[in-house]
Amino acid sequence: MSRDRFYRTLFVSTLILTGCQSTAPDLTSGRWIDLTHAFDASTVYWPTADGFELTVDAKGMNEKGYYYEANSFRSAEHGGTHLDAPIHFAAERQTVDEIPLDRLIGPGIVLDATEPCARDRDYQVTVSDFLAWESEHGTIPAGSIVLLNTGFAQYWPDRERYMGTAQRGPEAVALLHFPGLHPDAARWLVEERDVHAIGLDTPSIDFGQSTHFESHRILFDANIPAFENVANLDQLPKRGFLVIALPMKIRGGSGGPLRVVAWVKS
Protein backbone atom coordinates (compact mmCIF):
# COMPACT_ATOMS: atom_id res chain seq x y z
CA MET A 1 0.00 0.00 0.00
CA SER A 2 1.38 3.42 -0.98
CA ARG A 3 1.99 6.12 1.63
CA ASP A 4 -0.80 8.34 0.22
CA ARG A 5 -3.28 5.47 0.12
CA PHE A 6 -2.38 4.54 3.70
CA TYR A 7 -3.07 8.06 4.94
CA ARG A 8 -6.32 8.29 2.98
CA THR A 9 -7.45 5.01 4.54
CA LEU A 10 -6.47 6.21 8.00
CA PHE A 11 -8.26 9.52 7.41
CA VAL A 12 -11.52 7.80 6.41
CA SER A 13 -11.27 5.40 9.34
CA THR A 14 -10.76 8.31 11.71
CA LEU A 15 -13.82 10.09 10.36
CA ILE A 16 -15.91 6.99 10.92
CA LEU A 17 -14.64 6.62 14.48
CA THR A 18 -15.01 10.26 15.48
CA GLY A 19 -17.91 11.54 13.38
CA CYS A 20 -16.00 14.82 12.94
CA GLN A 21 -16.02 15.23 9.16
CA SER A 22 -15.99 19.02 9.38
CA THR A 23 -13.08 19.33 11.81
CA ALA A 24 -10.64 16.44 11.23
CA PRO A 25 -7.54 17.45 9.25
CA ASP A 26 -6.56 15.86 5.93
CA LEU A 27 -4.08 13.09 6.74
CA THR A 28 -2.60 13.08 3.24
CA SER A 29 -0.55 16.22 3.87
CA GLY A 30 1.03 16.97 7.24
CA ARG A 31 3.19 15.51 9.98
CA TRP A 32 2.94 13.51 13.19
CA ILE A 33 3.97 15.07 16.49
CA ASP A 34 4.73 12.81 19.43
CA LEU A 35 3.12 14.16 22.61
CA THR A 36 4.54 11.40 24.80
CA HIS A 37 7.49 11.36 27.18
CA ALA A 38 9.50 8.13 26.94
CA PHE A 39 9.36 5.83 29.97
CA ASP A 40 12.67 5.20 31.73
CA ALA A 41 14.32 5.51 35.14
CA SER A 42 13.97 9.32 35.07
CA THR A 43 10.21 9.33 34.39
CA VAL A 44 8.26 11.54 36.80
CA TYR A 45 5.71 9.81 39.05
CA TRP A 46 3.57 11.09 41.91
CA PRO A 47 5.68 11.35 45.10
CA THR A 48 3.87 8.40 46.69
CA ALA A 49 4.36 6.05 43.71
CA ASP A 50 7.36 3.95 42.75
CA GLY A 51 9.06 4.89 39.50
CA PHE A 52 9.35 3.01 36.22
CA GLU A 53 11.57 -0.08 36.23
CA LEU A 54 12.83 -1.99 33.20
CA THR A 55 14.45 -5.39 33.80
CA VAL A 56 16.42 -7.14 31.08
CA ASP A 57 15.32 -10.78 30.94
CA ALA A 58 17.38 -11.79 27.91
CA LYS A 59 19.77 -10.00 25.59
CA GLY A 60 22.28 -11.27 23.08
CA MET A 61 23.03 -14.29 20.94
CA ASN A 62 21.40 -17.45 22.22
CA GLU A 63 22.43 -21.09 21.97
CA LYS A 64 20.50 -21.45 18.67
CA GLY A 65 22.64 -18.81 17.00
CA TYR A 66 20.30 -15.82 16.68
CA TYR A 67 19.95 -12.56 18.59
CA TYR A 68 17.11 -12.33 21.10
CA GLU A 69 16.07 -9.58 23.54
CA ALA A 70 13.15 -9.43 26.00
CA ASN A 71 12.45 -7.22 29.01
CA SER A 72 10.00 -6.89 31.86
CA PHE A 73 8.71 -3.57 33.16
CA ARG A 74 7.05 -2.41 36.34
CA SER A 75 4.97 0.76 36.60
CA ALA A 76 2.20 2.40 38.57
CA GLU A 77 -0.87 3.31 36.49
CA HIS A 78 -0.41 7.03 37.10
CA GLY A 79 3.02 8.22 36.04
CA GLY A 80 4.79 9.51 32.97
CA THR A 81 2.51 10.38 30.06
CA HIS A 82 -0.62 8.58 31.14
CA LEU A 83 -4.40 8.47 31.06
CA ASP A 84 -6.67 9.00 34.05
CA ALA A 85 -9.86 6.98 33.58
CA PRO A 86 -13.06 8.42 35.10
CA ILE A 87 -13.16 5.62 37.70
CA HIS A 88 -10.00 7.18 39.21
CA PHE A 89 -12.13 9.76 41.07
CA ALA A 90 -15.75 8.83 40.31
CA ALA A 91 -17.43 5.64 41.47
CA GLU A 92 -19.13 3.50 38.83
CA ARG A 93 -17.71 5.53 35.97
CA GLN A 94 -15.64 4.20 33.07
CA THR A 95 -12.49 2.17 33.58
CA VAL A 96 -9.65 2.33 31.05
CA ASP A 97 -11.01 -0.49 28.91
CA GLU A 98 -14.52 1.01 28.91
CA ILE A 99 -13.62 4.44 27.49
CA PRO A 100 -15.07 4.74 23.95
CA LEU A 101 -12.58 5.33 21.15
CA ASP A 102 -14.30 8.58 20.19
CA ARG A 103 -13.18 9.99 23.55
CA LEU A 104 -9.57 9.19 22.67
CA ILE A 105 -9.45 10.05 18.95
CA GLY A 106 -10.67 13.39 17.66
CA PRO A 107 -10.05 17.04 16.83
CA GLY A 108 -7.79 18.88 19.24
CA ILE A 109 -7.42 22.43 20.49
CA VAL A 110 -4.61 23.99 22.51
CA LEU A 111 -5.12 26.72 25.09
CA ASP A 112 -1.82 28.52 25.69
CA ALA A 113 -1.47 29.38 29.39
CA THR A 114 2.30 29.68 29.42
CA GLU A 115 2.41 33.36 30.43
CA PRO A 116 0.23 33.20 33.58
CA CYS A 117 1.82 29.88 34.56
CA ALA A 118 5.30 31.40 34.25
CA ARG A 119 4.24 34.13 36.69
CA ASP A 120 2.48 31.77 39.12
CA ARG A 121 3.37 28.09 39.54
CA ASP A 122 0.00 27.57 41.21
CA TYR A 123 -2.02 29.07 38.37
CA GLN A 124 -5.35 27.48 37.52
CA VAL A 125 -6.74 27.85 33.99
CA THR A 126 -10.04 29.73 34.20
CA VAL A 127 -13.30 30.10 32.31
CA SER A 128 -12.03 33.53 31.22
CA ASP A 129 -9.02 31.86 29.59
CA PHE A 130 -11.34 29.65 27.56
CA LEU A 131 -13.56 32.56 26.59
CA ALA A 132 -10.50 34.50 25.45
CA TRP A 133 -9.47 31.50 23.34
CA GLU A 134 -12.94 31.36 21.81
CA SER A 135 -12.96 35.08 21.05
CA GLU A 136 -9.96 34.48 18.79
CA HIS A 137 -10.58 30.97 17.44
CA GLY A 138 -14.33 30.39 17.70
CA THR A 139 -16.39 28.15 19.95
CA ILE A 140 -14.63 24.97 21.04
CA PRO A 141 -15.85 22.37 18.52
CA ALA A 142 -18.09 19.59 19.82
CA GLY A 143 -16.12 16.41 20.47
CA SER A 144 -12.83 18.24 20.97
CA ILE A 145 -9.87 16.99 22.94
CA VAL A 146 -8.77 20.04 24.93
CA LEU A 147 -5.05 20.41 25.66
CA LEU A 148 -3.63 22.96 28.11
CA ASN A 149 -0.11 24.20 27.42
CA THR A 150 1.29 25.49 30.71
CA GLY A 151 4.89 25.47 29.50
CA PHE A 152 5.93 23.07 32.24
CA ALA A 153 6.98 20.32 29.82
CA GLN A 154 10.23 22.27 29.37
CA TYR A 155 11.22 21.20 32.90
CA TRP A 156 10.78 17.45 32.32
CA PRO A 157 12.22 15.31 33.94
CA ASP A 158 13.62 17.68 36.61
CA ARG A 159 11.23 16.79 39.42
CA GLU A 160 11.89 19.91 41.48
CA ARG A 161 11.27 22.33 38.62
CA TYR A 162 8.46 20.28 37.11
CA MET A 163 6.54 19.37 40.29
CA GLY A 164 7.86 21.87 42.81
CA THR A 165 9.73 19.28 44.85
CA ALA A 166 12.07 16.36 44.31
CA GLN A 167 11.13 14.78 47.62
CA ARG A 168 9.33 11.43 47.73
CA GLY A 169 6.75 9.98 50.08
CA PRO A 170 3.40 11.19 51.51
CA GLU A 171 4.95 14.28 53.14
CA ALA A 172 6.11 15.52 49.72
CA VAL A 173 2.53 15.92 48.42
CA ALA A 174 2.08 19.14 50.41
CA LEU A 175 5.14 20.59 48.64
CA LEU A 176 3.80 20.19 45.10
CA HIS A 177 3.50 23.38 43.06
CA PHE A 178 2.42 23.25 39.40
CA PRO A 179 -0.50 24.64 37.36
CA GLY A 180 -3.81 22.94 36.66
CA LEU A 181 -7.43 23.46 35.64
CA HIS A 182 -9.71 25.49 37.92
CA PRO A 183 -12.80 23.55 39.09
CA ASP A 184 -15.05 26.32 37.77
CA ALA A 185 -13.51 25.85 34.33
CA ALA A 186 -13.92 22.08 34.58
CA ARG A 187 -17.60 22.58 35.43
CA TRP A 188 -18.00 25.02 32.52
CA LEU A 189 -16.50 22.52 30.08
CA VAL A 190 -18.90 19.84 31.31
CA GLU A 191 -22.02 22.00 31.36
CA GLU A 192 -21.44 24.47 28.51
CA ARG A 193 -19.25 22.63 26.00
CA ASP A 194 -19.14 19.12 24.55
CA VAL A 195 -15.53 18.05 25.10
CA HIS A 196 -14.44 14.43 24.87
CA ALA A 197 -11.19 14.56 26.84
CA ILE A 198 -8.74 17.00 28.37
CA GLY A 199 -4.99 16.90 28.81
CA LEU A 200 -2.07 19.02 29.98
CA ASP A 201 1.69 19.09 30.48
CA THR A 202 1.75 18.79 34.27
CA PRO A 203 1.38 15.82 36.65
CA SER A 204 -2.30 16.48 37.41
CA ILE A 205 -5.43 18.13 36.03
CA ASP A 206 -5.78 19.74 39.48
CA PHE A 207 -3.02 22.14 40.45
CA GLY A 208 -0.29 20.94 42.79
CA GLN A 209 -1.71 22.43 45.98
CA SER A 210 -5.14 20.84 45.50
CA THR A 211 -6.32 18.65 48.36
CA HIS A 212 -9.85 17.83 47.15
CA PHE A 213 -9.10 17.24 43.43
CA GLU A 214 -12.33 18.93 42.41
CA SER A 215 -11.50 19.23 38.70
CA HIS A 216 -10.84 15.50 38.52
CA ARG A 217 -14.12 14.77 40.25
CA ILE A 218 -16.18 17.11 38.06
CA LEU A 219 -14.73 15.86 34.78
CA PHE A 220 -14.72 12.19 35.71
CA ASP A 221 -18.28 12.21 36.99
CA ALA A 222 -19.18 13.18 33.40
CA ASN A 223 -16.96 10.36 32.03
CA ILE A 224 -14.44 12.82 30.55
CA PRO A 225 -10.98 11.23 30.79
CA ALA A 226 -7.74 13.15 31.33
CA PHE A 227 -4.23 12.94 29.91
CA GLU A 228 -1.39 14.05 32.19
CA ASN A 229 2.34 14.72 31.66
CA VAL A 230 1.76 15.40 27.95
CA ALA A 231 4.78 16.54 25.91
CA ASN A 232 5.45 18.95 23.03
CA LEU A 233 2.24 20.97 23.20
CA ASP A 234 4.24 24.00 22.07
CA GLN A 235 4.59 22.34 18.66
CA LEU A 236 0.84 22.31 18.00
CA PRO A 237 -1.38 24.98 16.44
CA LYS A 238 -4.27 26.34 18.46
CA ARG A 239 -6.80 24.19 16.57
CA GLY A 240 -7.26 22.13 13.40
CA PHE A 241 -5.26 19.02 14.30
CA LEU A 242 -6.09 15.41 15.10
CA VAL A 243 -5.30 13.73 18.44
CA ILE A 244 -4.89 9.98 18.86
CA ALA A 245 -4.45 9.02 22.52
CA LEU A 246 -4.41 5.27 23.09
CA PRO A 247 -3.61 3.93 26.57
CA MET A 248 -2.60 0.45 27.55
CA LYS A 249 -5.99 -1.29 27.67
CA ILE A 250 -6.01 -2.43 31.30
CA ARG A 251 -9.27 -4.16 32.16
CA GLY A 252 -10.69 -2.45 35.25
CA GLY A 253 -7.81 0.02 35.30
CA SER A 254 -8.04 3.49 36.82
CA GLY A 255 -5.32 4.71 34.46
CA GLY A 256 -2.38 3.56 32.42
CA PRO A 257 0.61 4.47 30.27
CA LEU A 258 -0.48 6.50 27.25
CA ARG A 259 0.94 6.93 23.76
CA VAL A 260 -0.54 10.16 22.47
CA VAL A 261 0.26 11.74 19.09
CA ALA A 262 -1.12 14.53 16.96
CA TRP A 263 -1.44 14.92 13.21
CA VAL A 264 -0.88 18.49 12.08
CA LYS A 265 -1.72 19.40 8.52
CA SER A 266 0.83 21.19 6.36
What digits encode the pLDDT tens for the residues 116-128? 999 999 999 999 9
Nearest to 264 by CA among 247, 246, 242, 244: 242
Cβ pair 145, 196 in contact under 8 A: yes
Amino acid at 139: T
Instruction: Give the model's confidence band at 21: pLDDT under 50 very low, under 70 low, under 90 confident, else very high.
Output: very low
Cα 29 to Cα 10: distance, rounded to the nearest angstrom: 12
DSSP per-residue string spanning 149-163: E-SGGGGTT-HHHHH
Integer Cα distance of 261 and 251 in angstroms? 23
Question: What average pLDDT score do residues 46-52 get?
Answer: 97
Torsion of the alpha carbons at 85, 86, 89 and 92, rounded to the nearest 10: -120
Least confident piece of the model among 26-30, 44-48, 99-103: 26-30
* All domains of the chain in start order, with CATH: 3-49+76-265 (3.50.30.50)
Least confident interval from 24-33, 104-113, 252-261: 24-33
Closest to 125 measured CA to CA, from 207, 203, 195? 207
Give pLDDT, residue 23: 52
In angstroms, what is the C-alpha Rg of the chain?
19
Q: How distant, in Å, are the alpha carbons of 18, 72, 212 from that of 55? A: 38, 5, 36
Q: Can you tell me the distance from the alpha carbon of 237 to that of 111, in angstroms, rounded to the nearest whole number?
A: 10
The tally of CA atoms less than 13 A away on the side-chain side of residue 76 is: 14
